[in-house]
Structure 1
Amino acid sequence: MDIVMDAQALNAFLARDFPQAAGDHGIESVGPDKLVARLRVDDRHLRPGGTVGGPSIFALADIAIYCAILSRIGPVALAVTTNASIDFMRKPAAGRDLLAECRILKLGRSLAVAEALILSEGAGDPVARCSMTYAIPPKRPENSAL
């Protein structure tokens, strides 16, 4: 699978098309086998007890997997999640950003399957594991109307 969007292009895409997520999330690197995304954790992401809440962890996984797929197919804004499963395994380390390490398992014409391991930056054991399936819309002819 060739890389068609690098980290810089993906971050620009997020800033342009998903500014509500771009402030908290960023793509750190895109490689042939793995994409790494970051959640810049602050007080908005914490639940009572001072740990990062599940919705913030899930959002990181979803954005990271979405970008991993786009890194291979280009800026297809209408690719959407059709299935998701997440296992929360341990409490994130306090005061650290979260990283998602994503791998694409299958990339077809209409579906993509990928997984993400969520880690506290600098810690060894995963916080969560997520798998997702995305639907990829069919390509339209270049001269077709909306």
Structure 2
Amino acid sequence: MTPVMTAPEVGALLDQIFPQIHAGGRAYSVERVDEGVAVVRLSPTEIHLRPGGTVSGPAMMALADFAAYVVILAHIGPVALAVTTNLNINFLRKPEPGQDLLAECRILKLGQRLVVTEVSINREGDGETVAHATATYSVPPR
């Protein structure tokens, strides 16, 4: 699966069609796009934390969904109307605040109407996996 858009191209597209991802500051960014894979980053701020000193589950779910959207756009092109139909996540470890999270998303199946992905969310630095997700997207007919 060869990408049709680069990481900077996907980032620029998202700035145009999905600027609300940056509400409250630029916490999410596109790091890399390769064959069948994309890596995105969350640099958590106060709004991403929950009581108990950890990055919140909703912030990690948003990161997983963002990663899936990025890998799909990178491989099918600027199709803004691709939408999440399913997202399943398992929280494995407590990510401490002050440490960026990297989500690596792989395309498992790229069909005509559905794209199935797998996301591994890791702490930057030690690479410890903190969450694992699968996401399915519906893409409009090409």
TM-score, normalised on structure 2? Answer: 0.94
Corresponding position of 1:47? 50
> Aligned with 1:91: secondary structure?
coil
- Structure 2: 5+ residue stretches without partners: none
> Which residue in 2 is equivalent to 1:135?
138
The root-mean-square deviation of aligned C-alpha atoms, in Å, is 1.0
1:9-66 deviation line (CA, Å, top 9, x unaligned): 1110111111111422111000114211001111110001221000000000001111
Whether the 8 Å contact between 2:2 and 2:34 is mirrored in structure 1 is no
- Which of these two proteins has the greater Rg computed from alpha carbons? 1
Match of 1:65 among 68, 75, 94: 68
Aligned to 1:144: none
Per the alignment, residue 38 of structure 1 pairs with 41
What is the count of residue pairs matched by the alignment?
139
CA contact (8 A) 2:36 2:75 kept: no
Q: Using the TM superposition, give the Cα deviation of residue 111 of structure 1 relative to its aligned residue in structure 2, in angstroms.
A: 0.4
Percent identity at matched positions? Answer: 53
Q: Could you say what secondary structure the match of 1:90 adopts? A: coil
2:13 is matched with 13
Amino acid at match of 1:7: A
**Separation in structure 2 between the aligned mates of residue 124 and residue 79 of structure 1, nearest angstrom:** 30
Query: Hey, which bits of structure 1, 4+ residues long, moved more than 6 A?
Result: none
- Alpha-carbon distance change, 3 to 15 in structure 1, aligned in 2, over 3 angstroms: same
In structure 1, list runs of 5 or more residues that go unmatched: 140-146
**TM-score, length of structure 1 as denominator length:** 0.91
